[in-house]
């Protein structure tokens, strides 16, 4: 078996510690390979030195095994320092025996103790339908460009979107997000960045915007069509979602054109609502995992309350249309749920369920969602306007709402297990 053939230059510097070596096992996967290698390592020590396992990584890709084991030799009580050439020679014999016994390729190389990378570790999630090779290449180059290193890659899902998670050490969050945003823009893939740590898997509450997030289209545009004012209202809606108009003012202007519509129109529009693909899967999966789920909308309670009931949601907040004599008056009742109101609703729901804000997730597409997205522990701009994508924690441009699960780190298999 290959044994670090490069000659070593003698050094007068004191040793940095016990010698280390990496054993790499590759070949067609079969039962007993890992047991054989570790059994051999268990017998490799003697009365003067012990073999210790420092690190282990194993993965099987389409039946091909890659197993890496980093080991070191430590002198026992009063023993002489371990001789590195002898240590490596012993491992070379061990590798040969394991290779013969298993039919695998086993390589041994000496390694130095790794330097601790500066900066916090991150998960980088690359999503697409499919993920183009240039997106992975671009992400890898961008990570290296800011001093980061990819420690591991795993597939999260193959349907309805393909997604891969890269575990990255080194690099600073803002620099990483900025560099990867450029890759996403140039390749068409979605790339999300999340710090490694307990906070990622400690999320316990999610709030979803409704129009163009949980459901397709804008409810108020549908109502305006019934009043024969669709084009006018659509222009106001677009300007508000792009951040060009104050939401409260634009909402009052749009609602005013609905004056005189019979309340039956609300039932008709509600019946025609179409959920965004993946919406039910997202909600059912998170509910099964113990999440509190709800909606916060700049739309209307006459629509959202029934929607929340049908989906079994824990909470809902929206505006209320004023009705008199069976018709819309063109006015609103109560406090307006605008940009600031959405953030307040998120905070209120979190407090009611005893959940810190940093353990919440918010998903939305418009400028009036920004305060809510930034207040949450994780704010996701979903098929959002550029103005919103640039300011949210991360962005998804996939047509499937359940892609949020991959940003949260759940694999497709875990999603299948969570939904009966």
Catalytic residues: 209, 211
Contact 115, 37 (CB under 8 A): no
Burial of 112 (0-12, 13-18, 19+ CB in 10 A): exposed
Place of tokens 């320092």: 81
Contact 209, 297 (CB under 8 A): yes
**Rounded to whole angstroms, how far apart are CA atoms 342 and 323?**
23
Radius of gyration of the chain (CA): 28
| Sequence-ordered strand ranges (E) for 175-216 | 190-195, 205-208
Mode of pairing for the β-strands spanning 20-28 and 105-111:
antiparallel
Sequence length of the chain is 420
**Rounded to whole angstroms, how far apart are CA atoms 156 and 153?**
10
Structural element, H or E, at residue 333? strand 327-333
Burial of 150 (0-12, 13-18, 19+ CB in 10 A): middle
The tokens describing 322, both together, are 């004023």
**Rounded to whole angstroms, how far apart are CA atoms 274 and 404?**
19
């Amino acid at each position: 078996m290959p044994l670090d053939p490069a000659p070593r230059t003698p050094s007068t510097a004191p040793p940095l510690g016990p010698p280390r070596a990496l054993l790499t096992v590759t070949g067609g996967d079969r039962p007993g390979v890992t047991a054989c290698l570790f059994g051999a390592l268990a017998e490799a020590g003697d009365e003067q030195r012990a073999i210790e396992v420092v690190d282990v990584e194993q993965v099987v890709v389409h039946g091909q095994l890659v197993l890496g084991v980093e080991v070191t030799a430590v002198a026992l009580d009063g023993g002489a320092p371990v001789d590195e050439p002898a240590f490596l020679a012993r491992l070379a014999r061990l590798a040969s025996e394991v290779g013969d016994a298993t039919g695998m390729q086993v390589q041994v190389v000496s390694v130095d103790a790794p330097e601790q990378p500066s900066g916090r570790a991150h998960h980088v999630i690359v999503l697409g339908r499919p993920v183009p090779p240039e997106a992975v290449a671009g992400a890898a180059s961008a990570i290296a460009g800011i001093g980061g290193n990819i420690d591991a890659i795993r597939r999260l899902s193959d349907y309805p979107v393909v997604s891969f998670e890269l575990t990255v050490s080194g690099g600073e969050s803002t620099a990483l997000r900025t560099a990867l945003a450029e890759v996403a823009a140039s390749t068409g893939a979605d790339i999300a960045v999340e710090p490694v740590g307990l906070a990622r898997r400690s999320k316990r509450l999610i709030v979803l915007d409704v129009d163009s997030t949980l459901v397709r289209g804008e409810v108020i545009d549908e109502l305006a069509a019934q009043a024969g004012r669709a084009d006018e209202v659509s222009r106001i809606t677009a300007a508000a979602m792009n951040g060009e108009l104050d939401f409260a003012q634009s909402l009052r202007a749009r609602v005013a054109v609905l004056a005189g519509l019979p309340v039956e129109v609300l039932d008709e529009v509600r019946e025609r609502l179409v959920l965004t693909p993946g919406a039910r899967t997202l909600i059912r999966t998170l509910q099964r995992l113990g999440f509190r789920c709800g909606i916060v909308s700049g739309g209307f309670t006459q629509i959202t309350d029934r929607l929340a009931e049908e989906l079994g949601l824990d909470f809902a907040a929206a505006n209320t249309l004023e009705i008199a004599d069976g018709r819309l008056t063109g006015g609103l009742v109560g406090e307006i749920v605008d940009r600031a109101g959405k953030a307040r609703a998120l905070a209120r729901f979190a407090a009611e369920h005893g959940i810190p804000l940093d353990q919440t997730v918010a998903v939305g597409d418009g400028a009036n969602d920004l305060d809510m997205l930034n207040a949450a522990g994780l704010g996701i701009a979903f098929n959002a306007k550029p103005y919103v994508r640039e300011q949210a924690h991360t962005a998804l441009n996939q047509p499937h709402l359940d892609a949020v699960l991959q940003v949260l780190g759940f694999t497709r298999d875990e999603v299948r297990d969570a939904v009966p």
